[in-house]
């Protein structure tokens, strides 16, 4: 019996193999380069997650102005089959206003990932779609309005 859900049949998501902490690499090929970002993810029972990606030492974030950073990604995960998961999240790209010295929102970024679990590792793809604050796609204003990345992660023990 599960101590969290008191379910004798273990049908709740607290038994999902994705629940826990993961160290992840996201790799993307843009027209200019290959970019690799490292991140730390935490998947919680209940179907939520948070991810923090370190882009501080990288070139400008996917065509955004120099100095742009992103907020932590938050969202949901859903188990599609025994080892297959779909993850949907949102982050905000921020830029530092040199006049006010304050961080200002630049765009909203939607993430959709499709991953396959292999024991204490997973692989898959992640698609980032860039929007302004009126939910209008930025396909005409950014050099890379939608970016597909490969994802590789390892469970943190």
Model confidence over 103-125: pLDDT tens digits?
888 778 889 999 999 999 999 99
- Please state the CATH superfamily assignment of the domain spanning residues 17-155 in this structure: Quinohemoprotein amine dehydrogenase alpha subunit, domain 2 (2.40.128.120)
Tell me what pLDDT residue 64 has: 58
Rounded CA gap, 154 and 59, in Å? 25
Reported as a single tens digit per residue, the pLDDT across 28-64 is 876 667 777 888 999 999 899 999 876 555 555 555 5
Rounded to an integer, what distance in angstroms lies between the CA atom of residue 80 and that of residue 60?
A: 35
Would you call 14 helix, strand, or coil by DSSP? helix
In the predicted model, what is the mean pLDDT of residues 13-33?
82
Threshold 0.85, pTM exceeds = no
**Which burial class, exposed, middle or buried, applies to 133 when counting CB atoms under 10 A from its CB (0-12, 13-18, 19+)?**
exposed
């Amino acid at each position: 019996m599960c101590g969290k859900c008191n379910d004798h049949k273990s049908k709740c998501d607290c038994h999902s193999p994705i629940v826990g902490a993961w160290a992840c690499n996201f790799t993307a090929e843009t027209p200019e380069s290959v970019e690799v970002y490292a991140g730390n993810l935490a998947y919680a029972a209940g179907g939520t997650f948070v991810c923090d990606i370190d882009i501080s030492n990288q070139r400008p974030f996917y065509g955004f102005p120099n100095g742009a950073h992103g907020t932590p990604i938050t969202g949901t995960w859903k188990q599609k089959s025994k080892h297959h998961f779909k993850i949907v999240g949102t982050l905000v790209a921020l830029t530092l206003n040199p006049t006010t010295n304050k961080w200002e929102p630049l765009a909203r970024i939607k993430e959709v990932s499709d991953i396959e679990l292999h024991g204490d590792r997973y692989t898959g793809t992640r698609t980032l779609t860039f929007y302004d604050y009126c939910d209008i796609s930025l396909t005409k204003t950014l050099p890379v309005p939608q970016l597909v990345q490969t994802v590789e992660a390892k469970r943190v023990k």
